[in-house]
């Protein structure tokens, strides 16, 4: 018998060898200088990750790092996105190594989603500092949620204390100058930041504070703060945003963040909170998360916080003048909102030459166009000769392309089957259902039987056995619950798909502008005007079944790009072009 067993052990299993060295990506992140001081610098994180990889015999093929908050929007974490893309695209990568899970993401829901998606793609996220979690066990599910929730709670606590410190700082006056301290950030145009050393920390390191003073840098023969005063006096006398913009550009005064001034820059400078600052007030907490404006009652307003460039009466006069003109737009540029009848406004359509948004523009003859935002806001400075793209023709072309793609959306091979698989997967995750619950339940029953035999044979102490039995019984109860859901997953059929398709096409044709814009952004990735070539490039998002049909590729199975997203969120793209013919400075679609 032993010889036969030896032969069986030596027989090839037909499965790939697990002895091959695993390949990994390393990820490190810092968000504050304090983390550098506490030994959490990028080099130190990477050094510890390298040691950890050496212990587990894991090969690190590429290192990624970033100095950014893990609680910000993903648009501000380009290196993180690049690392995720490499992990998903490279089939050799099976591990992402991090110093701790908070370096990966401190938003618990976002972290769970990312880790789950990577796991489906065959990539495991391993932490150097956090305990190893058996995610296949019931206890592991709880532990993972606790760890990620702990990271998010810590992040929120730090934010709370930071905000409290900032609130106190702006109300603290410097003992020598009498001005209030600032919390950082770029000073308002006309001011500059002056750094002061005020005492030392316990470790002997100097404490630095900053205040605002008038900017005396000489520009075009005069100090900047004098140009600021003159412009604000012009605004008080009723000067338009266009006039202020042209005045600054004609005198070659650099804008706060670029070379040329735009009407939108002056619109921001003349907002009430900025006017209060020019009158000597400090105004803090004007904007919250994602730059959303807080209600005025939440602002922190401190009088005589720095030297005033205008009087309170002048600030009030400017505000009242602006209020009287509140109904006007910048030049003839059209207001861009979600409800705007310009379907491509809001950033989805940009100029390839300067990167500015294409905005709606109405001419005096009643015709409407899209133009580069530099044209009405900066007289074309920083870009070049304007191109007027006919609004109706371009929108018709975009919707025609959308309609064609949506029609093919429901015709992709196996589309209904794939959507039902995805719906079932999401349903199981939301209801706590485990696809392998039956197998795991049988394994728990086997362990319970073995434990009773051990008790009967006197191999194990009864008190120790009781603790283990309670633990196994808890696992069994959880698995039985996961095995018996109260209702089945939602499902669709071809008839339902055709109904959704008809509704979508109806909304595209006659829905309100906000609904049409929302549908458009789900299907169109980006639109770009190439002014020199007089060409508009429309980039659509395309679901995987349609992409396979368009490119001639065959993708079988339920994996692939489609399963990294919700069923109707699209995962790849193709290009469509509509040529533009020049007529003066206009471009006509054909």
Looking at residues 245-270, what average pLDDT do you find?
A: 89
Distance separating alpha carbons of residues 368 and 357, to the nearest angstrom = 16
Distance separating alpha carbons of residues 549 and 450, to the nearest angstrom = 55
pLDDT of 212 reads 96
CB 389 within 8 A of CB 587: yes
Partners of 359 in beta bridges: 371
Gyration radius of the chain over CA positions? 31
Smallest CA-to-CA distance from 57 within 7, 94, 23, 82 is with: 23
CB 248 within 8 A of CB 261: yes
Distance separating alpha carbons of residues 130 and 147, to the nearest angstrom = 8
* Dihedral angle sign, alpha carbons of residues 289, 291, 293, 297: positive
CB 385 within 8 A of CB 584: no
Q: How far apart are the first and last CA of the chain?
A: 82
Helix/strand/coil for 229: helix
CB 334 within 8 A of CB 359: yes
Q: What is the mean pLDDT of the chain?
A: 77
Q: 455: Cβ–Cβ under 8 A, 6 or more apart, which residues?
A: 462, 465
- Percentage of the residues of the chain whose pLDDT score is greater than 90: 23
Q: How confident is the model at residue 4 (pLDDT cuts 50, 70, 90)?
A: low
Quick one: tokens of 200?
A: 């030392």
pLDDT of 223 reads 95
* Dihedral angle sign, alpha carbons of residues 184, 186, 189, 193: positive
User: What's the pLDDT tens digit per position in 197-237?
Assistant: 988 888 888 999 999 999 999 999 999 999 999 999 999 99
Partners of 240 in beta bridges: none
Q: How confident is the model at residue 428 (pLDDT cuts 50, 70, 90)?
A: low
Quick one: tokens of 147?
A: 């760890």
- Between 569 and 229, the more confident residue is 229
Residue 556, pLDDT above cutoff 50: no
Q: 129: Cβ–Cβ under 8 A, 6 or more apart, which residues?
A: 99, 100
Count of other CB atoms within 10 angstroms of residue 45 = 26
User: What's the pLDDT tens digit per position in 13-42?
Assistant: 444 444 578 999 999 988 754 444 444 688
| Entry pTM | 0.55
Looking at residues 186-196, what average pLDDT do you find?
A: 94
Quick one: tokens of 476?
A: 């069994």
Helix (H) or strand (E) holding 526: strand 524-530
User: What's the pLDDT tens digit per position in 122-161?
Assistant: 898 888 888 777 767 777 777 777 777 777 787 778 778 8
- Between 244 and 101, the more confident residue is 244
User: What's the pLDDT tens digit per position in 79-102?
Assistant: 888 888 888 888 889 999 998 888
pLDDT of 96 reads 92
Quick one: tokens of 523?
A: 């299907």
The two beta strands, 572-583 and 535-542, are antiparallel
Distance separating alpha carbons of residues 471 and 456, to the nearest angstrom = 19
Helix/strand/coil for 206: strand
Quick one: tokens of 340?
A: 């705007």
Long-range pairs, 192-199, Cβ under 8 A, ≥24: 192/216, 192/217, 198/174
CB 356 within 8 A of CB 535: no
């Amino acid at each position: 018998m032993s010889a036969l067993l030896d032969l069986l052990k030596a027989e090839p299993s037909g499965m790939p060898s697990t002895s091959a060295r695993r390949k990994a990506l390393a990820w490190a992140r810092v968000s504050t200088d304090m983390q550098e001081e506490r030994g959490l610098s990028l080099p130190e994180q990477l050094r510890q990750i390298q040691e950890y990889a050496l212990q587990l015999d894991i090969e690190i093929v590429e290192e990624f790092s970033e100095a950014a908050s893990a609680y910000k929007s993903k648009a501000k974490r380009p290196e993180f996105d690049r690392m995720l893309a490499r992990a998903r695209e490279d089939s050799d990568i099976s591990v992402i190594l991090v110093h701790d899970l908070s370096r990966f993401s401190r938003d618990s829901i976002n972290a769970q989603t990312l880790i789950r998606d990577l796991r489906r793609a065959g990539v495991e996220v391993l932490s150097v500092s956090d305990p190893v979690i058996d995610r296949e066990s019931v206890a592991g599910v709880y532990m993972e949620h606790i760890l990620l929730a702990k990271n998010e709670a810590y992040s929120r606590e730090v934010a709370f204390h930071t905000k409290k410190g900032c609130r106190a700082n702006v109300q603290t006056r410097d003992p020598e100058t009498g001005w209030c301290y600032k919390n950082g950030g770029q000073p308002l145009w006309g001011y500059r930041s002056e750094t002061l050393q005020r005492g030392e920390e316990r470790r002997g390191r100097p404490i630095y504070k900053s205040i605002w003073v008038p900017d005396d840098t000489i520009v075009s023969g005069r100090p900047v703060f004098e140009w600021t005063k003159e412009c604000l006096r012009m605004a008080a006398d009723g000067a338009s945003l266009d006039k202020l913009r042209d005045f600054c550009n004609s005198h070659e005064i650099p804008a706060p963040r670029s070379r040329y001034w735009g009407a939108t820059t002056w619109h921001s400078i003349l907002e009430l909170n900025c006017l209060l600052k020019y009158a000597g007030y400090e105004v803090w907490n004007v904007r919250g998360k994602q730059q959303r404006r807080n209600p005025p009652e939440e602002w922190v307003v401190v009088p005589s916080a720095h030297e005033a460039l205008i009087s309170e009466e002048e600030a009030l006069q400017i505000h009242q003048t602006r209020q009287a003109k509140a109904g006007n737009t910048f030049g003839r540029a059209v207001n861009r909102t979600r409800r705007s009848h310009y379907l491509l406004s809001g950033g989805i359509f940009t100029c390839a030459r300067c990167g500015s948004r294409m905005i709606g523009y109405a001419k005096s003859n009643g015709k409407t166009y899209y133009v580069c935002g530099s044209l009405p806001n900066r007289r074309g400075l920083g870009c070049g000769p304007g191109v007027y793209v006919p609004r109706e023709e371009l929108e018709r072309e975009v919707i025609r392309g959308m309609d064609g793609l949506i029609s093919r959306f429901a015709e992709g091979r196996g589309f209904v089957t794939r959507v039902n698989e995805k719906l079932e997967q999401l349903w199981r995750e939301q209801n706590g259902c485990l696809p392998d619950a039956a197998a795991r339940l049988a394994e728990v029953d086997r362990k319970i039987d073995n434990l009773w035999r051990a008790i009967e044979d006197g191999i194990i102490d009864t008190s120790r056995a009781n603790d283990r039995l309670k633990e196994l019984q808890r696992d069994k109860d959880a698995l039985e619950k996961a095995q018996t859901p109260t209702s089945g997953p939602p499902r669709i059929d071809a008839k339902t798909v055709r109904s959704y398709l008809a509704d979508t096409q109806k909304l595209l044709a006659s829905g309100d502008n906000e609904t049409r814009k929302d549908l458009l952004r789900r299907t169109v990735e980006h639109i770009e005007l190439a002014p020199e070539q007089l060409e508009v490039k429309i980039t659509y998002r395309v679901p995987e079944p349609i992409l396979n049909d368009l490119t001639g590729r065959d993708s079988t199975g339920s994996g692939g790009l489609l399963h990294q997203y919700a069923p109707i969120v699209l995962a790849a793209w193709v290009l469509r072009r509509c040529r533009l013919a020049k007529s003066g400075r206009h471009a006509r679609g054909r």
